């Protein structure tokens, strides 16, 4: 089993990384290799779909054949691996017989062809962690090559050779504090496959309902919810970061990223506290999640304004030149906010957050009596009470109070989804339908408040800003929005 963390960094940061005092010990002196790798698959990508990598590697003197299977979980790559020497640049099958890879590879032998290559210089050092773990630190710099296409490669791999996996996370956290390293969930095989196909990043992905473990231990539910929220984040991050300015922009990546961060806040906050799971380790991440959510939220608000609010407002402006000027100003705000959101995802604080979450998930739960769901149901009861008390007077609540109710509905929805697997399906479905409707009603009203602020900001730089703002705000008020009324809350599924 191969266990490693993979982090990418800009090439201009390599010199500082190589000069890090951490390597001053003579036992960590680097060895260097030039590695050429050939990756195989069928024309239909059967191995990529099975999440198996098959390669031949040459270091200039010897050839190795490697098969790997699996993927990353919360940033940690954990893959079954078999590696053996071969005579030359041709696949051999005898050593694979009887392995877990044989049933997949055996029927495909005649179809396997080279698909892409990687060529890079590797520097290898070995570090002993605080708990005695031996970690191989590999710095790779080179290229991924697929026909006429190429992509630069510059990354650090921290592979656990022996000892506790916590030492890998401790080393990664130390390096992230000193260097602009970014956690990367993609293997070289995954990157090469996408390059060979000339494929765009995977489409935006919605949150999957966590597969809540059966049983009475709430700690397992907290762990599963956090893993699912991280997977949701990682499924959308690459697509959002890959979107360059000037290219077609898909705002759904950002929307799903923001949802993932919100779900993480609930999973790491009220759910983890109620489940008594990793509370001390998770407490510091709450501020980071809140700050990241706010920065993603600014960009998301401009997406909503541009895509939903602005078109009918623009249609009501007879002055084409003014309409174009306002549209360009809004587009500049949107592009700036998007760049800031992309930067936020790669900043040190976010990397520290992701590594800390991965570190928590890599730890086994302590033995001891199971933690009941009583605290979780108490939290559900409290959130439902807030909604029940507010429903009769929604029309009289301020925008700030409505926004807080929207957050309450989201918390209740996410907690419901996190534990739905252990509850009556029909009862939780009724609640989720109600909560989705509540989010829509509250969300439209919140978007209206945000739109008024955006209009004010846009008009500030125009001629006769007061008159223009009056016109646009009046047009905004004419846009239809759902009434502030909701049906009674369903019966409490958590008391059934």
Q: Where are the domains of the chain?
A: 2-197, 218-495
pLDDT of residue 496: 62
Task: Read off the pTM.
Answer: 0.92
pLDDT band at 367 (very low <50, low <70, confident <90, very high): low
Tokens of 371: 């933690």
Say if residue 227's pLDDT is above 80: yes
The domain defined by 218-495 folds into CHAD domain (1.40.20)
pLDDT band at 211 (very low <50, low <70, confident <90, very high): confident
Residue 47 to residues 64, 105, 115, Cα–Cα distance (Å): 19, 8, 11
The mean-pLDDT minimum among 226-240, 256-270, 406-420, 482-496 falls in: 482-496
- Burial environment of residue 389 by CB neighbours within 10 A (0 to 12, 13 to 18, 19 or more): exposed
pLDDT band at 27 (very low <50, low <70, confident <90, very high): low
Which CATH superfamily, name and number, covers 2-197? Answer: Hypothetical Protein Pfu-838710-001 (2.40.320.10)
Q: How many residues does the chain have?
A: 496
Average pLDDT over the chain, rounded to whole?
A: 92
Say if residue 25's pLDDT is above 60: yes
> Mean of the pLDDT values across residues 195-208?
90
Tokens of 151: 């992509």
Q: Using a CB cutoff of 8 Å and minimum separation of 24, what contacts does 413-417 make?
A: 413/439, 414/262, 414/263, 414/266, 414/267, 415/266, 415/270, 415/271, 415/376, 415/379, 415/380, 415/383, 416/380, 416/493, 417/207, 417/209, 417/210
High-pLDDT (> 90) share of the chain, %: 77
Q: What pLDDT, in 10s, does the model give residues 404-424?
A: 999 999 999 999 999 988 888
Which helix or strand (DSSP H or E) is residue 435 part of? helix 425-459
How many CB atoms are located within 10 Å of the residue 254 CB?
Answer: 25
pLDDT of residue 462: 86
pLDDT band at 2 (very low <50, low <70, confident <90, very high): confident
Helix locations, 179-217, DSSP H:
188-197
Give the residue from 201, 114, 107 showing the smallest Cα distance to 151.
Answer: 201
The mean-pLDDT minimum among 230-244, 258-272, 295-309, 344-358 falls in: 230-244
- Residue 221's region, left for phi above 0, alpha for psi from -120 to 50, else beta, is alpha
pLDDT of residue 156: 97
Q: What pLDDT, in 10s, does the model give residues 38-70?
A: 999 999 999 999 999 999 999 999 999 999 998
- Residue 252's region, left for phi above 0, alpha for psi from -120 to 50, else beta, is alpha
Say if residue 135's pLDDT is above 90: yes
Q: What pLDDT, in 10s, does the model give residues 282-310?
A: 988 999 999 999 999 999 999 999 999 99
pLDDT of residue 213: 67
Could you check whether 2-197 and 218-495 share the same CATH topology?
Answer: no
> Mean of the pLDDT values across residues 326-342?
95
High-pLDDT (> 70) share of the chain, %: 98
Cα gap 491→336, rounded to integer Å: 45
């Amino acid at each position: 089993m191969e266990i490693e963390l993979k982090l990418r960094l800009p090439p201009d940061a390599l010199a500082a990384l190589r000069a890090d005092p951490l390597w001053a010990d003579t036992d960590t002196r680097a060895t260097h290799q030039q590695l050429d790798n050939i990756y195989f698959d069928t024309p239909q990508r059967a191995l990529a779909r099975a999440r198996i990598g098959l390669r031949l590697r040459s270091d200039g003197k010897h050839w190795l054949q490697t098969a790997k299977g699996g993927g990353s979980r919360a940033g940690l790559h954990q893959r079954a691996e078999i590696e053996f020497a071969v005579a030359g640049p041709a696949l051999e099958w005898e050593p694979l017989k009887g392995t877990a890879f044989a049933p997949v590879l055996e029927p495909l032998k005649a179809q396997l062809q080279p698909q892409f290559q990687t060529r890079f210089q590797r520097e290898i050092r070995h570090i002993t962690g605080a708990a005695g773990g031996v970690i191989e630190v590999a710095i790779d710099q080179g290229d991924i090559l697929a026909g006429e296409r190429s992509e630069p490669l510059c990354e650090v791999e921290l592979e656990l050779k022996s000892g506790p996996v916590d030492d890998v996370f401790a080393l990664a956290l130390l390096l992230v504090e000193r260097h602009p390293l970014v956690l990367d969930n993609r293997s070289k095989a995954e990157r090469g496959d996408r390059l060979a196909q000339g494929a765009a990043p995977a489409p935006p992905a919605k949150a999957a309902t966590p597969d809540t473990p059966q049983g009475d231990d709430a700690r397992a539910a907290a762990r599963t919810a956090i893993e699912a929220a991280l997977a949701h984040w990682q499924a959308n991050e690459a697509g959002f970061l890959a979107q360059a300015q000037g290219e077609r922009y898909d705002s759904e990546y950002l929307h799903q990223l923001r949802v993932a961060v919100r779900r993480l806040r609930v999973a790491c906050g009220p759910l983890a506290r109620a489940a008594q799971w990793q509370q001390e380790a998770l407490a510091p991440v709450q501020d980071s999640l809140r700050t990241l959510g706010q920065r993603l939220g600014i960009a998301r608000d401009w997406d909503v304004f541009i895509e939903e609010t602005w078109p009918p407002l623009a249609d009501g402006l007879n002055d084409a030149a003014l309409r174009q000027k306002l549209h360009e100003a809004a587009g500049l705000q949107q592009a700036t906010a998007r760049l800031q959101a992309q930067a936020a995802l790669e900043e040190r604080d976010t990397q520290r957050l992701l590594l800390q979450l991965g570190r928590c998930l890599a730890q086994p739960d302590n033995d001891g009596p199971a933690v009941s769901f009583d605290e979780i149901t108490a939290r559900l009861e409290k959130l439902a009470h807030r909604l029940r008390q507010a429903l009769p007077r929604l029309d009289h609540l301020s925008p700030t109070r409505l926004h807080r109710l929207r957050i309450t509905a989201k918390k209740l929805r996410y907690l419901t989804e996190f534990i739905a697997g252990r509850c009556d399906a029909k009862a939780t479905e009724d609640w989720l339908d109600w909560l989705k409707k509540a989010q829509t009603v509250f969300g439209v009203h919140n978007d209206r408040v945000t739109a008024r602020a955006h209009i004010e900001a846009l008009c500030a730089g125009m001629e006769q800003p007061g008159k223009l703002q009056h016109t646009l705000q009046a047009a905004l008020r004419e846009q239809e929005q759902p009434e502030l009324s909701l049906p009674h809350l369903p019966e409490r599924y958590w008391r059934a």
